[in-house]
Amino acid sequence: MFYQIAKFICWLPLSILHPTKIYGKKNLPKDKAIISCNHRSNWDYVLFGLHTRRKNVVLAKKELFKNKFFGAILKNFGGVPIDRNANDINAIKICMKALKENKHLFIFPEGTRLKNEEDILGEIKSGIAMIAIKTKSPIVPVWVERKPRIFRLSKIRIGQPFELSQFYDQKLDELTLKDACLVIREKMLELRELGLKKKQK
């Protein structure tokens, strides 16, 4: 209930400051899923959460919570602080628990923002693949077309869910996880290409 109230309060001012169009909402599963999104700015998840119905569990660097205002928004939208410089076992446990409870887990698989807008997609970290395989959860690719800026329309595209089922019975060694990350990367880039093709029409 508090989430819906906070979302209602934030919707109008943030919609004015950061107008956002989301494509493919119907691709979000009703049951558990991992939402894999490229990372352009600290506003990426807030804009996604603001314009989709379901509350997600989202991993965010602990430094973002130092700002009381932005940290409060993140927490209300399901933000969980993680330490990027440590092997945060607690964060992994939170992710696994969220999926076991049939929730949506929102992850930036690159682990950090791409600061240069000309860069397309950074390295996919193995954590998302490991969690998806261990929990047998579908992954939903999400693509933020460009860095959100005040008063500029942001476009976010949601792709069709896929599973890493070909890796379910394999030993999760470094090579297996690397191959799984390549699949995730390909699906995300395919979604980007789809957006570019539609823009050209």
CA atoms of 83 and 63, how far apart (whole Å): 8
Domains and CATH numbers, the chain: 2-200 (3.40.1130.10)
pTM of the entire structure? Answer: 0.89
- Residue 42 in this model has a pLDDT that exceeds 80: yes
Q: What is the mean pLDDT of the chain?
A: 88
Q: What residues contact residue 36 under an 8 Å CB cut-off, 6+ apart?
A: 107, 109, 128, 139, 140, 141, 142, 184, 187, 188
CA 159 to chain centre: 12
Place of tokens 């949601």: 158
Q: Which two tokens stand for residue 185?
A: 């990367």
132-171 residue pLDDT tens: 999 999 999 999 998 989 999 999 999 999 999 999 989 9
C-alpha distances in Å from residue 137, one per residue of 22, 69, 117, 132, 143: 23, 33, 31, 5, 19
101-136 residue pLDDT tens: 999 999 999 988 887 777 899 999 999 999 999 999
For 2-9, what is the mean pLDDT?
Answer: 71
